[in-house]
Structures are given as structure tokens and as C-alpha cells.
């Protein structure tokens, strides 16, 4: 029976079967009536397909190009492009102790004071090596798609869709690089800088006497008070990070560096569930709701950290700074962090720098009627563990 003469019931049954297959409700392909399916296929193929891509049917009337420009995430922690130089270095300035005494109170008749006592500036240098190279390409045909497109304008729109799609893909590749930097920092912080990897549930239980766990922290009876407390706790951390101290970052032995992160240099990435609770739940039931909105102001919402199917967890074997000697070390086994609340960090703590980005087209191939466009880019993703970075997570609690 031809698909063009299907009744409503027959079409509904056919679409229902397709829907169940697409949503995994059948263990394997289930076709109730292969004759109907073959007719549908034959009807579709009667107009022919383009001979090159073999996915575009020949034109009947109107074509809708399904393409949108993707706005990449993490734009605010992508650094400027660097073209030359293989090594980036960061000079850190350390505090010397004050002089032992004020010499004005130790003057002695007949003796002089040496004003040329040497007190050298105390510094150390961090070096950042390495980069990732990437390549991609796309083939552009001159006229082989004429049977699938009806006019030059439609052909231009098709090419625009192809180029937009590849640009969207490249943006997501860049996102993946930045996610990798975030995941490495989170797992390294959790495993090797526990003072700045804070179990907020433990802190909440210690302060309030309530016992919350990851399983019930967002239960209706708990989430309003917990979220209010959490917003205040995070804002207090932000305030403390603005003070010039040796806290909130890793210090190489013998080289305690003073850091402070003020508002303009602070980055806040918070899990969507937490930020939504702060902005939509806690504020909505709080008089003077603006009093708890500070932490949400300027915060970036992350729908997932590593895997969208397990959005609030990460798992990695991180590289980290060995504070005993200032060298890079690597964990031999995976570090897992679950129930991530968010991260507060200095803009210099991590990021991505584009070292070289360019593209070029091959000469036109007159025999094949096409040319190729190649894309090349080199990215450096960095973690700087001697910069302020605080991890907040909801972990197992002890009484």
C-alpha cells in the first residue's frame, strides 16, 4: 500500500512505531509492515538524490536550512591569542620580612648607620609549556549539487549552513579544552589542596547542628534554609578572597606568595541546580531578596561539568603542582569529585590561549569540481595552582 494513500490510523501507527524506536522502547528495529516502509522509501527516492553527498533529495519547492549560530561557553576565561614563543612565564613577587628594628631608635654617638644594606627583591618564576594542535577540513563543491538546490541564493544558503556548522563544532572543541582545564583543577584541588576543597554540607552541619546529606539537601523541607546559608557562605568566601593572604592557593615550600582576588578578577562558576535555587527559590521567599543575590551576580551557570548524563561529577587523573619542589606531578589513579556546587577562582588561575589560528583553501580541482578548506589552530590550556581557587562540593558528612 502506498504511503500516499495511508489513512490517519495507518500513519499514526507507523509514526508511533518510529517514535518508540527513536526513544529506545524497542530492543531492536521493529517494522510492522515492510511493504509500507518500502513504499515510503521509494516515494522519497523518486526525485533522486544529489550524486555527491547523497543525502539531499532533488528540489520540489521549498528548502528549510536548519542551522543556528552557537554561542560558545567559557568566553570569559579565554585569553588573547599569542602567536610567537613556546614558553609562557609568570614572575611572582614575594614579601620580605620587615627589618628587625627601626634604626632611628638605636643611634649611638660616634657611630654611623650603613644605609646600603642589601635586601634583594624576592621572586620566583612559573613556566608554562606545551600546546595542543588541531586540524579540520571541509570540501566545497562548485556545481555537483545543482540538482539538489534550485537557485544560486539557495546554494549560498546551503554553503552558509555548512560553514556555520563547522564553526559551531570548532567552538565546542574549544569548550571541551576549557572543560578539561576546569576538570583538572577541580580534581587536583580535591586531592592535593584539601583546605580549599570545601565540603559545604559538613560546614553547614557544623554551624547549624542540622544533619544534611547529599541525598536530602534539596528536599523541600531543607533547600530554602540551606540555599540561603550557602549563598551567604559563598559570599563570605568571596569577601575573604579579596584579602591579600597566602590562603586559597597552593604555596611552594619556602615561597609563600600573597594573592588577592577582587571582584573584577573573580570568576564564579556554579552548578545550575544550585544557582537556580539561589535565584528562583531562596530569593522568592526571602524578604529583601537582594540581600542574598550578591553571589549570583555575574555567576556563570554550568549545566554539567564533564558528562551531561552525570552533570555534577568529574573524574580525571590530574596534573598538579608539587609544592615541595615546584614541579609538575601527575596522579596515577583517577580522582572522582561528586556533587559539585561550584568554583570560585581568580581569572589567572586557569584558561585557554589561542596560540595560532588560521585556515586556507586548496586550489580549485577542475577535474573533480571542488576545493578543500583546511583549518589549523593551536591551543594552550593552563592551570596555575599558585592562584586563588576554591572548590565547593557536597560530600559525605560526619557527625
Beta strands 197-199; 389-393: pairing state: parallel
pLDDT at 245: 94
Segments of the chain scoring below 70 in pLDDT: 1-70, 72, 79-88, 92, 94-95, 98, 124, 127-130, 143-151, 281-293
pLDDT at 68: 67
> 83-120 as b/e, with b when 16 or more CB fall inside 10 Å?
eeeeebeeebeeeeeeeeeeeeeeeeeeeeeeeeeeee
pLDDT at 36: 40
Residue 312: closest CA among 268, 267, 272: 272
SS3 state of residue 188: helix
Concatenating the DSSP letter of every residue in 303-322 gives: S-SSBTTBTT-EEE--EEEE
pLDDT at 142: 73
Dihedral class, residue 130 (left if φ above 0, else alpha if ψ from -120 to 50, else beta): left
pLDDT at 196: 96
Beta bridge partner(s), residue 316: 335
What H or E segment, with its residue span, contains residue 330? strand 327-330
Other Cβ atoms less than 10 A from the Cβ of 281: the count is: 16
pLDDT at 370: 84
CB-CB contact of 337 with 356 (8 Å): no
CB-CB contact of 380 with 132 (8 Å): yes
pLDDT at 282: 54
CB-CB contact of 173 with 134 (8 Å): yes
pTM of the complete model: 0.75
CB-CB contact of 139 with 364 (8 Å): no
Crossing angle of helices 200-208 and 223-241, in 10° steps, is 110
pLDDT at 18: 43
What H or E segment, with its residue span, contains residue 36? helix 34-45
Amino acid at each position: 500500500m502506498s504511503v500516499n494513500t495511508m489513512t490517519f490510523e495507518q500513519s499514526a501507527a507507523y509514526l508511533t512505531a518510529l517514535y518508540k524506536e527513536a526513544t529506545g522502547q524497542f530492543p531492536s528495529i521493529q517494522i510492522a509492515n515492510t511493504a509500507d516502509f518500502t513504499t515510503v522509501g521509494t516515494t522519497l527516492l523518486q526525485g533522486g538524490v544529489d550524486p555527491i553527498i547523497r543525502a539531499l533529495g532533488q528540489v520540489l519547492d521549498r528548502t528549510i536550512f536548519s542551522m543556528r549560530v552557537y554561542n560558545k561557553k567559557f568566553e570569559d576565561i579565554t585569553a588573547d591569542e599569542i602567536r610567537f614563543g613556546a614558553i609562557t612565564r609568570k614572575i611572582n613577587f614575594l614579601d620580605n620580612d620587615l627589618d628587625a628594628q627601626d634604626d632611628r631608635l638605636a643611634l649611638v654617638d660616634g657611630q654611623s648607620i650603613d644605609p646600603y644594606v642589601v635586601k634583594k627583591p624576592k621572586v620566583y618564576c612559573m613556566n608554562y609549556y606545551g600546546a595542543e594542535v588541531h586540524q579540520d577540513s571541509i570540501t566545497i563543491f562548485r556545481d555537483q549539487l545543482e540538482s539538489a538546490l534550485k537557485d544560486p541564493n539557495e546554494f549560498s544558503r546551503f554553503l552558509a549552513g555548512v560553514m556555520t556548522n563547522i564553526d559551531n563544532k570548532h567552538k565546542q572543541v574549544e569548550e571541551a579544552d576549557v572543560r578539561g582545564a576546569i576538570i583538572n583543577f577541580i580534581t587536583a584541588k580535591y586531592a592535593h589542596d584539601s583546605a580549599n576543597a570545601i565540603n559545604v554540607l559538613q560546614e553547614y552541619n557544623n554551624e547549624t547542628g542540622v544533619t544534611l546529606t547529599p541525598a536530602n539537601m534539596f528536599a523541600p523541607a531543607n533547600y530554602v534554609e540551606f540555599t540561603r546559608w550557602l549563598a551567604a557562605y559563598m559570599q563570605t568566601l568571596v569577601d575573604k578572597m579579596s584579602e591579600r593572604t597566602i590562603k586559597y592557593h597552593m604555596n611552594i615550600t619556602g615561597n609563600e606568595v600573597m594573592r588577592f582576588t577582587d571582584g573584577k578578577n573573580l570568576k564564579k562558576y556554579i552548578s545550575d541546580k544550585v544557582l537556580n535555587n539561589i535565584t528562583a527559590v531562596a530569593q522568592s521567599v526571602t524578604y529583601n531578596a537582594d540581600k542574598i543575590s550578591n553571589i549570583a551576580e555575574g555567576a556563570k551557570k554550568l549545566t554539567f561539568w564533564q558528562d551531561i548524563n552525570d552533570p555534577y561529577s568529574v573524574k580525571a587523573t590530574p596534573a598538579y603542582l608539587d609544592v615541595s619542589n615546584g614541579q609538575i606531578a601527575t596522579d596515577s589513579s583517577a580522582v572522582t569529585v561528586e556533587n559539585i556546587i561550584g568554583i570560585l577562582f581568580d581569572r589567572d588561575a586557569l584558561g585557554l590561549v589561542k596560540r595560532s589560528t588560521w585556515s586556507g583553501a586548496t586550489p580549485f580541482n577542475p577535474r573533480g569540481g571542488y576545493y578543500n578548506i583546511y583549518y589549523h589552530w593551536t591551543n594552550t590550556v593552563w592551570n596555575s595552582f599558585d592562584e586563588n581557587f576554591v572548590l565547593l562540593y557536597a560530600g559525605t558528612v560526619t557527625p
